[in-house]
Amino acid sequence: MDRIVIVGHSIAGVTCGDTLRRRGFDGELTYVGAEDVPAYPRPSLSKAALHPDPVDIAPLPTFAAATEILGHRAVALEPEAVLLDDGRALPYDGLVIATGSRARRLTDSPREYTLRSLADAEALRARLLERPRVTVIGGGPLGMEVASGAVGLGCEVTLLNPGTPLARHLGPLLGGILASLAAEAGVRILDTVVESVTETAEGMAVTLPSGEVLESDIVFTGIGDDPEVDWLASSGLLVDGRLIVDTRQRVLGHPGIVAAGDVCWLDDPAGPRRSPVWTSALEQGRVAADGLLLGDDAPERDHPFYFWTDQWGVSLKVSGTPPREDVAPVVVKGSVDERSFVIHWPGHGAAAALDMRMPVPRLHKLAASRG
């Protein structure tokens, strides 16, 4: 293998490239990135970039000696070359697909904001500094973090979500605590889906199934994402529109091609699944490098799920997946009532630390314990 092309200048792609070099690959290595800036940590977009005081987002450290082609997209894939939007063809022996995902939108209005890039964050922050009325659609991690940032910048915020925000992701206990903090910060939370969103002469109108119409200056939509696989439509790599990888991050049926990060689906006995979080992208990048170089001799993907968020003045770390039902956890330290604690759910492989210091390896160890 003499030429490896990495399509996607993200944590998954950068980690894969660095791992390839560390594993001894000394051939040609080329990154292709749609944004015209060096790779940066995307979780900072909804954290530092929306802080009341501007914070520069430092580029990711990279160690791989490589050629970077920034500000250009891959538009198609041929058996031996990646085709770019400027007409160039990049030949490869090995290919890494790390093109990430794009935010789902409800309208084409410039008053609807999403958050997937540094440009998105800069545009959103500039608008929030004007203290508009904001309707946040979606109470997942991104929606709640943006709502928190908007409140911190002095905005009036309404958040729409069916059920308790974050409960689907973190379970009823953690979701309920963060939702309470949001309400205490002044956020109006409505348990509802959305019927339609339209642009008006002065702002945005969000119509609910009840017939109520919410007027605001802007809308932020945090309702999930879609993998960036359009450029692979004619490649033969997709299965029912999905880019599915095995436990070594190899695209099914194509051992010389690996994928990592938000773009791919993980093959699983229960059916393909995604793991679109920062730490999964990082670990998948490492596994993909070994999968590309070592094939069947590469170690399989085996890392615990880890998630963290900063919102409403507190920091939350979670190892594993908290139970979706209302199961009382074991309190290891602190107090649930005081909303500062370390807890775990024996037998469920999950633990969490809210507003309390806890090294990640210790949190993983706690999550795996059964006592």
- pLDDT exceeds 90 at position 41: no
CA distance 287 to 230: 24
Pick the CATH number of 105-221 from 3.50.50.60, 2.130.10.10, 3.30.465.10, 2.60.120.10: 3.50.50.60
- pLDDT exceeds 90 at position 359: yes
Question: CA angle at residue 238 from 302 to 250, to 5 degrees?
Answer: 30
Is 277 within 8 Å of 293 (Cβ atoms)? no
Domain with CATH 3.50.50.60 in the chain: 3-102+225-297, 105-221
CA distance 163 to 287: 36
Is 15 within 8 Å of 63 (Cβ atoms)? no
- pLDDT exceeds 70 at position 371: no
Confidence (pLDDT) at 50: 81
Helix %, strand %, coil % of the chain (to 5): 25, 30, 45
SS3 107: coil
CA distance 223 to 179: 17
- Taking residues 47-58, what's their average pLDDT? 75
Q: Quickly list DSSP for 224-287.
A: -EEE--GGGTTTS--BTTB-EE-TTSEETTEEEEEE-STT-EE--TT--B---SHHHHHHHHHH
Per-residue pLDDT tens over the stretch 290-340: 999 999 999 999 888 899 999 999 999 999 999 988 899 999 999 999 999
H-helix segments, the chain = 11-22, 118-128, 141-152, 167-184, 278-294, 360-368
Q: List the structure tokens of 261.
A: 């990060």
Confidence (pLDDT) at 195: 97
Look-up: residue for tokens 């915020």? 157
Is 189 within 8 Å of 179 (Cβ atoms)? yes
Confidence (pLDDT) at 21: 95
Pairing of strands 314-319, 350-354: antiparallel
The chain-wide mean pLDDT, for the chain, equals: 94
- pLDDT exceeds 90 at position 179: yes
Per-residue pLDDT tens over the stretch 244-277: 999 999 999 998 999 999 999 999 888 899 988 8
Question: CA angle at residue 252 from 262 to 65, to 5 degrees?
Answer: 60
- Taking residues 223-231, what's their average pLDDT? 96
CATH number of 3-102+225-297: 3.50.50.60
